[in-house]
A and B are shown apart, each in its own frame.
Chain A
Amino acid sequence: MMSFWVMLDDSINTDELLAGAGAAVLAAFFAELVTYQAATRFRMRIGWLVPAFSLPGQVVRDMVIVYHALWRRVAHGVQPPSAFLELPARFGDDRPEGLTRRTLLVGGTSLAPNTFVLGIDRDRDVMVVHRLVAEEKES
């Protein structure tokens, strides 16, 4: 928090640093308050971030898919084959690790423009997604 303040303010004067420290304390307090009220905690495993390295390539690939669908819609009037799909995804448990894993999974899957996650079904261990261009056969 403090580093964000310094980055925004671009000053290391004492009064600015004190103001930044106060703002950081307030922000941390409210963050803790919200997590306490929501009864949620996050706990990260570094290995979960490894799939993030493939995200830029996925974004580029999905951009091509999405804009190709737009071109077909504008030039030929062909509606994209959108669909809701269920992809296998383990729900896990309600411990902090499980919550963090699901959060990262939802965020990482929804980053690329062709796929958005609606949720992960606890009972059936599937992730419901919507795809602008859904391929005929999904593995």
Chain B
Amino acid sequence: MSFIEAENLTHVYGQGSEQEFTALQGVSFHIEAGEFVAILGANGSGKSTLARHLNGLLLPTSGVCRVAGMDTRKPQEVWQIRRQVGMVFQNPDNQLIAGVVEDDVAFGPENLGMEPAKIRAQVKMALQAVGMEEFRKFAPHLLSGGQKQRVAIAGALAMDTKCLILDEATAMLDPQGRREVMDTVERLHQQRGLTLLCITHFMDEAARADRVLVMEHGRLVQQGPPAEIFADAPKLHRLGLAVPLAVEIAWHLRQGGMQLPKDILTNDDLVAALEARYVH
């Protein structure tokens, strides 16, 4: 059994109305516990709709979504699912509820009915895990975008989440904030085996994943390791996406007749490959 199993997910908004719109069509995939998966796709390709099926915020029009063996359509199981699958949304300003950082992190555990002493321990642990404990008394509007997103991550960790979905959580951040958030979640992924699902427009973030899913018009059109997905740069451009710069450069050099390994993803990969090719 995989941690997340999506079978033939289809979602139709406004079914039967004039504005009927099929946002997801027959999407199937599995995600293993501890995996780091990136989801790519142009705006409107159905990425966010897909993500919202994975913690039962949306229910499939047809098809099934199971998390840790539980069905998102069963009302008695959905709370258990949401506890295990935390979500960080795009706009850092619209997901913190309380006027003080530590109270916000406590929001999830409070909803779960934990004992006050246990909540305090969870909040402390979660804020430490994202490096925000010194800001625990701060009001959210005094924090930077990256810091707000880290608080949102802590809010999920405090519920003992097993999996974190970042729904374009870095899209509205400056480069520093983006780095803060990605470093934080990658560290959690490595140290705690947190399952990571990253919806993003930043190809460098996707390049660090174990696996990449590519969406187009509500369909899952490609999945595989990043090197494999990015190998076909023209195809990604056709889908309205991009590839990491190192991949792009390598692609152009290959077009010029140069022999380079297929799995170049990062700057370091490219530099190493070019160094090896260079005859002093």
A binds B: no
Chain A residues proximal to chain B, CB less than 8 Å? none
Chain B residues proximal to chain A, CB less than 8 Å? none
